[in-house]
A and B are shown apart, each in its own frame.
Chain A
Amino acid sequence: MDTLIQQIVSGLATGGIYGSVALALVMIYQATEVVNYAQGEMAMFSTYLAWTLLNAGLPYWVAFFATLAIAFVGGLLLERILIRPVENAPVLTIVIVCIGLLVILNSVAGWVYSYIQKPFPSPFPSKPIQFGNIYFGAHDIGALGVTLVVLAGLYVFFRFTTLGLAMRAAAQNPVSSRLCGIRVGWMLAIGWGLAALVGAVAGMMVAPIVFLDPNMMAGILIYAFASATLGGFTSPGGAVLGGLIVGVVENLVGTYVSFIGTELKLTVALAMILIVLVVRPSGLFGRAAVHRV
């Protein structure tokens, strides 16, 4: 029973990270109907920037927030410089641009920082936290907390601010949004900035677990795809919940199904993608896409 609860909490912690990356994917998908394959590498690159800032001697939380700011501006600039010129191109063109960005970020990170794994510090104590006679990793609890705070912040931003409302409007109906005076192009850029910011949080929270290297987000991106598919690519809340479910299922299956163990965990994510696509393609909370023809 204790193992079960421990595994669930640890699954929620990694699940929160999957959910964040999934949310970043969904935010961009809703606005542009394009999946940003470079989302994981953007997060990885941000984490390297955080590592550089930490190595320069900045306190953890200063480096953390500085990284968020850099990630936001970086995401915004990427949209303006790379995506804007192909905005009206076929979806496949934009997908290729994103994949190109993925390869470039990965190679540049490898070139600058080398492919050797680096330890990345956790801001939370290494001593486990004890509830009754169950022990939880402090980083697990902390990462889950940070993730939830970020998600709550985004919810408040999109739900209650005028800019958040304008961004939702621009994603839903660009033509009408322009008629309301909304600068739709900038809304997309800000969306990329926010997605990069959320990704950066996920990167910094997962790096202490998986170690920092240029390929660190590759597996996580697949989990994020599984999360977004499960929750529905049209539902931000669903993507987050999907992430938590994927994280917990992955952990429980790894613990209790002996032939899967840790080696086949990623397969579980891929199997979940397949099952969802066959059984319920719009995901748990997504809306089926209806196009008038």
Chain B
Amino acid sequence: MAALLSVRNLEARYGDTRVLRGISFEVAEGGITTILGANGAGKTTTLRAVCGMVKTAGEITLAGKRIEGRATESVVRLGVAHVPEGRGTFVQLTVEENLRLGAYARHATGHLGSDMDRVCGYFPVLAERRRQVAGTLSGGEQQMLAVARALMLRPRLLLLDEPSLGLAPLVVREIFRIIRTINREERVSVLLVEQNASLALGLADHAYLMETGSVVMSGPSAELRQNDAIRRAYLGY
């Protein structure tokens, strides 16, 4: 399968601290790729770098087009939807307004209604709470809203930053099930960053392991799951 996103020798720093030390990875068209690693490994920074939210060196190629150094807004317009750490909900706006904002970059307001129905089809609870202010939703519902908002873009590539963080296991399983459905039905490629390695490896077909700013291991998820070092350090058995 051809790579939709291809990253070469990506470097990033916050002040004097090098956070990414020249990492390379790919996300296959239509595939789910995950980046695993402990806190502070540079996973979030990697996603932020793809979206032009941090200054970087190196090459980022999306569907054959170089996108490094572009403003976040223009990366988004190329069909990259980023569900950020902490969900990025507009807490004072209603659920419906949050969803409308998700479609903002598309300028296709004509399909807004049908898109909203399609997205709420995945997350029926959002349809019930359409007029509710987003800040009043539970954590799980806000995470669903964040994914739904990203889908309103009709993205080619979905970046997910720790969707499991702070959520009950049942809710997490539900969200991961929906991500798989979205990936299959809408052919959206997914780059997932997770601390919960066993969940992420269960979902993704390809995985990278990061440690302090470098990729230390990569391969098909099934292979990484069998790896003894990963099992001990990240899967806990």
Contact = CB atoms under 8 A, between A and B. Distances in A.
A168 interface: yes
A141 interface: no
A177 B51 CA distance: 13
Contacts of B72: 178-179
B109 A162 contact: yes
Interface stretch (A45-53, A146-154, A180-188): A180-188
Which of A169, A173, A181, A183: most chain B CB closer than 10 A? A181
Given A175-B84, A176-B84, A183 B73 contact: yes
A166 B93 CA distance: 11
Q: Which has the most chain A C-beta neighbours within 10 Å: B76, B97, B101?
A: B101
A180 B105 contact: yes
A165 B97 contact: yes
B89 to A, nearest CB: 7
A181 B89 contact: no
B129 interface: no
Given A169-B93, A172-B90, A175-B84, A180 B102 contact: yes
In this complex, which of B73, B77, B82, B109 has the most chain A Cβ atoms within 10 angstroms of its Cβ?
B73
Contacts of B149: 180
Contacts of A182: 73, 101, 104-105
Interface residues of B, number: 25
A173 B104 contact: no
Contacts of A181: 73, 76-77, 104-105, 153
Given A172-B92, A179-B82, A180-B149, A166 B76 contact: no
A184 B76 CA distance: 13
B202 interface: no
A165 B99 CA distance: 11
Interface residues of A, number: 17
B88 A176 contact: yes
A166 B105 CA distance: 10
With most chain B CB atoms within 10 A of its CB, the pick from A162, A168, A179, A182 is A179
A169 B73 CA distance: 14
A176 B51 CA distance: 12
Interface in B92-121: 92-93, 97, 100-102, 104-105, 109
B155 to A, nearest CB: 11
A181 B53 CA distance: 12
A180 B104 contact: yes
Given A176-B84, A176-B88, A176-B90, A166 B101 contact: yes
A166 B101 CA distance: 7
A176 B73 contact: no
A172 B84 contact: no
B84 A179 contact: yes
B171 to A, nearest CB: 21
Contacts of B105: 180-182
A165 B88 CA distance: 16
A40 to B, nearest CB: 28
A177 B97 CA distance: 12
B88 A179 contact: yes
A179 B77 contact: no
Nearest to B159: A179
A177 B89 CA distance: 10
A264 to B, nearest CB: 39
Interface of B: 51, 53, 71-73, 76-77, 81-82, 84, 88-93, 97, 100-102, 104-105, 109, 149, 153
19 contacts: A162-B100, A165-B93, A165-B100, A169-B97, A172-B91, A172-B93, A176-B84, A176-B89, A178-B72, A179-B76, A179-B84, A180-B101, A180-B149, A180-B153, A181-B153, A182-B101, A182-B104, A182-B105, A184-B73
Given A165-B93, A166-B104, A169-B97, 11 more contacts: A169-B90, A169-B93, A172-B91, A172-B93, A176-B88, A176-B89, A176-B90, A177-B101, A179-B82, A180-B102, A181-B105
